[in-house]
């Protein structure tokens, strides 16, 4: 990172409440005339505090932190542009929906934003930079095949599945209707065709009664118990269910086991990336700061900002919690 003293002031798209408050105060005082600088702002036991005193304290106390936030925002924006990374409207809408869910409701989020002196648009921009940093960090991650295999082996039990059956069903209003269809099946009737024509179950009728693969707890006990007692090709007796009478035909069975890696690879990769994301965000912003040329005219502000850039953590994930106390 190169920090010099003779060129333009860095300006970035900072929208944080602290940034806005601090900068407004500093810029307002920065525009003061010499007489306004000498203007007495306060007296403490006869000793004066001038506009110049206040400006200096604001610049030194708030200026470096505000500048670092602005610099980070510029680095994220520039990095995203160089990498061809963008945040689509759907992604931003999802981030906003998550924020609403975190707050509890739209009304709760509005109240939290008001407590922070943030508009919805400012908060959305904060979420934008947060999302872009996530994307930059993910793009910088390296994830090899062995790491995926090791993670899967360590957390294999997370992908355990119980015994499964693949079956079809038909639902009827009365037991007599179910028994009549069962007689047709016993003389060679086609289960799928009869289900499409006669079943009352709206979820499976159009699919010929296809229930797909399911585990024992996925259906009501009477239906599951009957299905798991059958072998492939067998058909149950009529089963009384809350909404009628059911006939089940089992097509295939699977013993209990684990979902194979190839089936869960995307899920495993996502879990590894989420675990790595905080450190990847830190690494990306640290490297971006180190490679940046930042020019600040004020010598005192430059020194403090340079120290902060070397040690400040990366921008933290945006959250509305905890709620600040009322003012």
Distance CA(161)–CA(147), nearest Å, equals 23
pLDDT given for residue 17 in this prediction: 41
Span 279-318, pLDDT tens digits: 999 999 999 999 999 888 888 888 889 888 888 888 889 8
Same domain? For 118 and 191 the reply is no
Q: What tens digit of pLDDT does each residue of 142-153 get?
A: 999 999 999 999
Q: For residues 7-13, give the mean pLDDT.
A: 35
Judge if 224 and 88 occupy the same domain: no
Pick from 234, 255, 276: which residue ends a domain? Answer: 255
Residue 258 pLDDT exceeds 50: yes
Does 114 have pLDDT greater than 50?
yes
Q: What is the CATH number of the domain that holds 103?
A: 1.10.4030
Angle separating helix axes 51-61 and 63-83, nearest 10 degrees: 50
In this predicted structure, the answer to whether residue 177 has a pLDDT above a threshold of 60 is yes
- In this structure, what token pair is assigned to residue 54? 């206040």
Q: Are residues 233 and 282 in the same domain?
A: no
Contact 301, 60 (CB under 8 A): yes
Contact, 280 vs 141, CB < 8 A? yes
- Give per-residue pLDDT as tens, 20-69: 444 444 444 445 566 656 788 899 998 999 988 888 888 888 889 999 99
Number of domains in the chain: 2
pLDDT at residue 28, as a whole number: 46
For residue 54, how many C-alpha atoms fall within 13 Å in the half-sphere facing its CB? 20
- What is the percent of the chain where pLDDT is above 70? 87
Tell me the H-state helices in the chain: 17-30, 34-38, 51-61, 63-83, 89-103, 106-115, 120-140, 145-154, 175-186, 191-198, 221-228, 261-291, 299-311
| CATH classification at residue 232 | 3.10.50.40
Q: pLDDT digit string (tens) for 190-247?
A: 999 999 999 999 999 999 999 999 999 999 999 999 999 999 999 999 999 989 999 9
Residue 156 placed within a domain:
no
pLDDT at residue 324 in the model:
56
Residue 16: pLDDT band (50, 70, 90) is very low
**239 and 283 both lie in a single domain:** no
pLDDT at 326 over 60: no
105 has pLDDT over 50: yes
What distance in Å separates the CA atoms of residue 213 and residue 279, rounded to the nearest whole number?
Answer: 39
Q: Are 220 and 241 in contact (CB under 8 A)?
A: yes
Token digits of residue 207: 């699919």
Domain of residue 36 covers: 2-142+267-311
- Gap between the Cα atoms of 105 and 61, Å rounded: 36
Whether residue 322 has a cis bond before it, omega within 30° of 0: yes
Residues forming beta bridges with residue 240, ordered by sequence position:
245
Residue range 56-98, pLDDT digits in tens: 888 888 889 999 999 999 999 999 999 999 999 999 999 999 9
**Are 32 and 135 within one domain?**
yes
pLDDT of residue 284: 96
pLDDT at 325 exceeding the cut of 60: no
């Amino acid at each position: 990172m190169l920090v010099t003293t003779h060129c333009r002031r860095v300006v970035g798209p900072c929208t944080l409440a602290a940034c806005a408050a601090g900068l407004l105060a500093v810029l307002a005082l920065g525009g003061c005339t010499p007489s306004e600088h000498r203007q007495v702002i306060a007296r403490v036991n006869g000793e004066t505090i001038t506009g110049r005193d206040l400006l200096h304290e604001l610049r030194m106390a708030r200026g470096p932190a505000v500048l670092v936030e602005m610099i980070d925002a510029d680095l994220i924006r520039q990095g995203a542009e160089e990498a061809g990374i963008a945040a689509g409207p759907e992604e931003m809408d999802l981030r906003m929906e998550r924020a609403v869910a975190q707050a509890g409701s739209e009304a709760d989020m509005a109240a939290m934003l008001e407590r922070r002196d943030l508009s919805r648009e400012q908060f959305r921009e904060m979420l934008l930079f947060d999302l872009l940093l996530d994307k930059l960090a993910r793009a910088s991650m390296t994830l090899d095949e062995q790491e995926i295999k090791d993670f899967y082996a360590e957390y294999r039990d997370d992908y355990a599945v119980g015994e499964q059956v693949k079956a079809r069903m038909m639902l009827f209003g009365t037991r007599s209707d179910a028994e009549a269809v069962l007689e047709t099946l016993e003389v060679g009737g086609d289960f799928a065709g009869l289900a499409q024509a006669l079943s009352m179950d709206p979820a499976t009728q159009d699919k010929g009664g296809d229930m797909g693969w399911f585990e024992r707890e996925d259906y009501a006990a009477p239906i599951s118990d009957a299905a798991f007692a059958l072998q492939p090709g067998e058909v149950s007796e009529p089963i009384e269910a809350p909404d009628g009478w059911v006939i089940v035909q089992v097509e295939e069975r699977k013993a209990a086991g684990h979902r194979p890696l190839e089936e869960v690879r995307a899920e495993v990769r996502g879990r590894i990336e989420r675990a790595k994301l905080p450190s990847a965000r830190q690494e990306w912003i640290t490297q971006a700061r180190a490679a940046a040329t930042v020019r600040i005219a004020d010598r005192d502000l430059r020194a403090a900002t340079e120290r902060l850039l070397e040690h400040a953590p990366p921008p933290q994930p945006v959250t509305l919690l905890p709620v600040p106390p009322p003012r």
